[in-house]
Structure 1
Amino acid sequence: MALAYQRQLDGMTAFAVWKIEEEAEDLYSRLQLNQEEKAYVESLNNGKRNLHWLSTRVLLREMLNTSGYIDCRVDEHGKPYLVNFPHQISLSHSFDYAAVMISENKPVGIDIELVKEKIVRIEDKFLCPEELMFIDPSHRIEHLYICWCAKEAIYKLQGKRNVSFKDHIRLHPFSFRQEGEFSARLDAGPLQATFTVGYERFEDYMIGYVPGK
């Protein structure tokens, strides 16, 4: 596993992307796991799912720069959190890469996705008509992935189920660029917030990230 990219957003918030190059056994050997975690890993079939789970935990260990045990759990909504560190975290993975975002003072969300043409088949499933209107036709695939990653990152940050990408997360219009930021709004009943979404192209992938407030 090799660090491919790291970005410090402020003094307390950062994210990193690692390329998954090791076998599962190598990643496993770098972790300290309790019995429940070991049983979970053993329940996964050998393949990408196993590598993704292990690689995000190895990258988390690297970012926290610790040799001690990291008690990383998920709540009833599936959102990961740390028991024995003050940081808030978000985890993502796609094909050959894992991504982790951490912050000492705010909630965070991150998503990484391999850019593929098939996203056009589901564009109206996660974007409303007003959002589809600002998609740049000359960069449609990439622009759609920016929108998807943004909504996924916001979904992960807020951490509650039953939030609809299309109905509850709205992106303010923005022009396509390879890297930038724009505003978005979460409007899901008691969940109300405005976010600044950052994004950038990384090789054949798109990264979207959201630091909370």
Structure 2
Amino acid sequence: MPLTFLEEIHPNTYIGLWKIEEEPAVLEKQLQLKDHEKEVLKGLNTQKRNLHWLATRVLLRKMLNTEEYIDCQPDENGKPVLLNMPHHISLSHSYDYAAVIISKDKRVGIDIEIIKDKITRVQQKFMSPQELSFMDEQYAIEHLYVCWCAKEALYKLNGKKETSFKDDIHLEEFPYQTKGVLKGSIHKEPLVKNYKIAYRKFEDYMLGYVYEEDEE
């Protein structure tokens, strides 16, 4: 499971990316799974889903650098949380990659997606007309994936099921580049919170991640 990169993006806040090349049994041996986690694995109906579940947790263990059991379970909204450690976490996966972001003191979100042109068929479901108006025609598919990853990362940071990508998560206009930072916000009356979301393209994938900054 070769490390693609591990980077500190803010004090006590790290992102990690791994390429998945092992069989599920190899990954499972690196974890200390309890019976309830083994039941979750049994419920995953494809080897790829099995690999993704295991790989994100192996990467999480490596980033936490611990030999202790990691009690990672979904909360009432399905967001993965650590019950026996203080860190905030977010997990993602797509095809051959697993991605994790951890922070000791900040809420976080991460998303990784393989880039495919089918995203154009669903763009109106997660993008507002104003957001669609600033898509770069030359790099429309990549630009859409930046927006998707940014909104998914914000959704995961927020951790509330009722949050709508199109109606509640808004992105400011930004030019497409292969790596950059854009501004976004979550609007859930009566609150509006602003964020800076970082992204980067590598190979045929897009990665987006965000952490909650200190109040000014």
Measured after TM superposition, the shift of residue 47 of structure 1 is 1.2
AA aligned to 1:17 is L
Structure having the larger proportion of residues in helix: 1
Query: Residue in 2 aligned with 1:114?
Result: 114
Query: Residue in 2 aligned with 1:85?
Result: 85
AA aligned to 1:119 is I
Query: Residue in 2 aligned with 1:169?
Result: 169
Of all paired residues, the percent bearing the same amino acid is 54
Measured in 1, the distance between the counterparts of 2:9 and 2:45 equals: 36
The answer to whether residue 158 in structure 2 is matched with residue 158 in structure 1 is yes
Deviation string 1:152-207 (CA, Å, 9 cap, x unpaired) is 00000000011110000010000111101011010022553111010001211000
The answer to whether residue 43 in structure 2 is matched with residue 43 in structure 1 is yes
Deviation string 1:65-106 (CA, Å, 9 cap, x unpaired) is 011100111101000110111110000000010000000110
Measured in 2, the distance between the counterparts of 1:182 and 1:46 equals: 35
After TM superposition, list the pairs within 5 Å mapping 1:1-213 onto structure 2.
1-213=1-213
AA aligned to 2:53 is W
Measured after TM superposition, the shift of residue 145 of structure 1 is 0.2
RMSD: 1.0
Measured in 2, the distance between the counterparts of 1:98 and 1:123 equals: 24
Measured in 1, the distance between the counterparts of 2:185 and 2:133 equals: 17
Measured in 2, the distance between the counterparts of 1:110 and 1:140 equals: 22
TM-score by length of 2: 0.96
Measured after TM superposition, the shift of residue 46 of structure 1 is 4.1
AA aligned to 1:52 is H
Deviation string 1:10-35 (CA, Å, 9 cap, x unpaired) is 22101111001000000001000111
Deviation string 1:109-139 (CA, Å, 9 cap, x unpaired) is 0000000111111111110010001100011
Q: Equivalent residue of 1:137, what SS?
A: coil
TM-score by length of 1: 0.97
Measured in 1, the distance between the counterparts of 2:189 and 2:204 equals: 36
Residues 45, 187 of structure 1: alpha-carbon distance in 2 compared, 3 angstrom cutoff? same
Residues 170, 84 of structure 1: alpha-carbon distance in 2 compared, 3 angstrom cutoff? same
